[in-house]
Amino acid sequence: MQIAIVGAGIVGAATAYELAADGHEVTVFEQRAAAAEEASFGSAGLLAPALLLPWATPGIGAGAKRRLWASPSAPQLVRGAGISGLTWRRRWIRAGSDPTAPTLLAALEGLGRYSLARTRELAQLFDVDMETSRGTLVLLRRPEDMEQLQPALQLLRDAGEILHEVDADTARLIEPGLSSDAPLAGALHAPGGEAGNCRLFAQILRHAAQEQGAQCVFGARVQALSSGAASLQIAGEAAPRRFDAVVLCTGLASAALLRPLGLRLPLAAVHGYTISAPLREDSHAPQGSVIDPLHHLTITRQGQRVRVSGGAELGPAGGAQHAPTLQTLYLALSGWFPGGALTSSPQVQVWRGARPTLPDGAPVIGTSGHAGLWINAGHGACGWAQACGSARALADLIAGRAPAFDLQPFRVQRF
Ligand SMILES: Cc1cc2nc3c(=O)[nH]c(=O)nc-3n(C[C@H](O)[C@H](O)[C@H](O)COP(=O)(O)OP(=O)(O)OC[C@H]3O[C@@H](n4cnc5c(N)ncnc54)[C@H](O)[C@@H]3O)c2cc1C
């Protein structure tokens, strides 16, 4: 089949690779000059356990007392969020206690597990180092912090994920750089946890797709999709281009592209930050990844850099950087791993990105309902962790094969 992929973030790059590897004639249209320039640019890098990622789904990290206005488990409304931000935030909070939430959580666990296996398989096949680090430690400041994670923990354990509850001393043996002064009641250790460089892998996937015959057209903005046939209109071109299938991997932009076709995807930009600093002293830096569930942040190792990530803001794209959030991230990095990173180096990179998030935290993977138009978008806080699995499953669906996991929970028709 002749297939067009719109968008070359991590999801589009993975989809292009899988479809090209299946023997399709693939063309990727990307508005930017390179792959992974938007949400996939500065991701925190955590691959597993994806369900424990901050802002992975509503309902996790909520704690016993969930409040509508000051819920610490819902993204923060910032200047310019407007009524739409407020409404979306309410949907997110409600979704956490929806009767369907446990089913969706189980489906997300399955997607995360499958995707991790596929990511590892591809990294091995390409024989590349994607700055992988192994092991994830969830830092518990207070014994009751564990309570927030219970819905995810049970599912992970039922699925065979090894999760050890360890005391503070053992946590410091696993991550020797952890400060002896930091408040640590204990930790949860996932030896199978993993992090890697999302942007780097997107670029590797793009090259691998090209080696399989895919064409990548950069600087090509798709301005409209057609409802009757699989065709799309590129800005500046006189006539639409026709394909046998079009796959939308446009992250946040998917809602605007689908609206003229009568599909309303309630996507929100949940902005977050990453601060990447050069390594100062290896033994003082994280060896794997840590998650601080109280402050909804992660600290990961990315090769010769340390990356701290957090913040969840509902507001406009061009909004100013939120100084208190950045300060929390700097404090967390130096508080948990003092001397691990050069935070005053001119090479420090501060990035604000938008997680393309749907109110139930799950992506849309499957048909749009319009002939020949497929969607692989809305992966929220877990796009890196879910990209390779989503891409393989969608490629199977397009080929008429049964995907390795049930895609029903990810249908667009749930909205
Ligand atoms: C602070 C932060 C930390 C994160 N940490 C993690 C993490 O640890 N683990 C994890 O799994 N995920 C994480 N994420 C989430 C992850 O980064 C995203 O879910 C993922 O990058 C989404 O990928 P995507 O390909 O769908 O979107 P994008 O990377 O945004 O790609 C969409 C592409 O489509 C292109 N496009 C859009 N419209 C058009 C058009 N009309 N024509 C042509 N091209 C178009 C864009 O230019 C873009 O390149 C994090 C996100 C943030 C913001």
Digit-coded pLDDT (tens) for 19-76:
999 999 999 999 999 999 999 999 999 999 999 999 999 977 655 444 333 456 799 9
- Compare 309 and 183 and report the one with higher pLDDT: 309
Whole-angstrom distance, CA of residue 159 vs CA of residue 295: 27
Q: Is the peptide bond before 49 cis (omega within 30 degrees of 0)?
A: yes
pLDDT for 70 equals: 42
Q: Could you tell me the distance, in angstroms and rounded to a whole number, from the CA of residue 338 to the centre of ligand 1?
A: 31
Q: What is the mean pLDDT of residues 282-304?
A: 95
Helices and strands: H and E segment counts in the chain:
9, 19
Q: Could you tell me the distance, in angstroms and rounded to a whole number, from the CA of residue 382 to the centre of ligand 1?
A: 10
pLDDT for 283 equals: 95
- 273 CB under 6 A from ligand 1? yes
Ramachandran region, residue 79 (left: φ > 0; alpha: ψ -120 to 50; beta: rest): beta
Task: Give phi and psi for 201, each to the nearest 5.
Answer: -70, -35
Q: What is the mean pLDDT of residues 365-375?
A: 97
- 379 CB under 6 A from ligand 1? yes
Burial of 221 (0-12, 13-18, 19+ CB in 10 A): middle
- 206 CB under 6 A from ligand 1? no
Q: What is the DSSP secondary structure assignment for residue 408, as one 8-state letter? A: G
Q: What is the mean pLDDT of residues 316-328?
A: 83
230: confidence class by pLDDT, cuts 50, 70, 90: very high
Residue 262, CB-side half-sphere exposure with 13 Å CA sphere? 7
Whole-angstrom distance, CA of residue 367 vs CA of residue 215: 23
Q: How many CB atoms lie within 10 A of CB 182?
A: 17
Q: Is residue 357's pLDDT more than 50?
A: yes
Atom of ligand 1 nearest to the CA of 274: 1
CA-nearest of 118, 108, 109, 112 to 410 is 108
- 374 CB under 6 A from ligand 1? no
Whole-angstrom distance, CA of residue 233 vs CA of residue 241: 6
- 199 CB under 6 A from ligand 1? no
Max alpha carbon distance in the chain (Å)? 66
- 196 CB under 6 A from ligand 1? no
Q: Could you tell me the distance, in angstroms and rounded to a whole number, from the CA of residue 250 to the centre of ligand 1?
A: 8
Condensed to tens digits (0 to 9), the pLDDT of residues 85-131 reads 999 999 999 999 899 999 999 999 999 999 999 999 999 999 999 99
Q: What is the DSSP secondary structure assignment for residue 341, as one 8-state letter? A: B
pLDDT for 321 equals: 75
Q: Could you tell me the distance, in angstroms and rounded to a whole number, from the CA of residue 273 to the centre of ligand 1?
A: 13
Tell me the residue length of the chain.
Answer: 415
| Residue among 234, 292, 379, 390 to mutate when testing ligand 1 (max atoms within 8 A of CB) | 379
- 230 CB under 6 A from ligand 1? no
Q: Is residue 319's pLDDT more than 90?
A: no
Whole-angstrom distance, CA of residue 262 vs CA of residue 258: 7
Q: How many CB atoms lie within 10 A of CB 263?
A: 21
Condensed to tens digits (0 to 9), the pLDDT of residues 146-191 reads 777 887 888 899 999 999 999 999 999 999 999 999 999 999 999 9
| Residue among 53, 108, 132, 198 to mutate when testing ligand 1 (max atoms within 8 A of CB) | 198
Contact 337, 330 (CB under 8 A): no
Atom of ligand 1 nearest to the CA of 40: 21
pLDDT for 62 equals: 54
| Residue among 17, 40, 364 to mutate when testing ligand 1 (max atoms within 8 A of CB) | 40
Q: Could you tell me the distance, in angstroms and rounded to a whole number, from the CA of residue 9 to the centre of ligand 1?
A: 5
Q: What is the mean pLDDT of residues 220-241?
A: 94
pLDDT for 67 equals: 38
349: confidence class by pLDDT, cuts 50, 70, 90: very high
Q: Which residue minimizes the CA distance to atom 22 of ligand 1?
A: 383
pLDDT for 66 equals: 43
Q: Could you tell me the distance, in angstroms and rounded to a whole number, from the CA of residue 212 to the centre of ligand 1?
A: 23
Q: What is the mean pLDDT of the chain?
A: 94
| Residue among 43, 201, 203, 241 to mutate when testing ligand 1 (max atoms within 8 A of CB) | 43
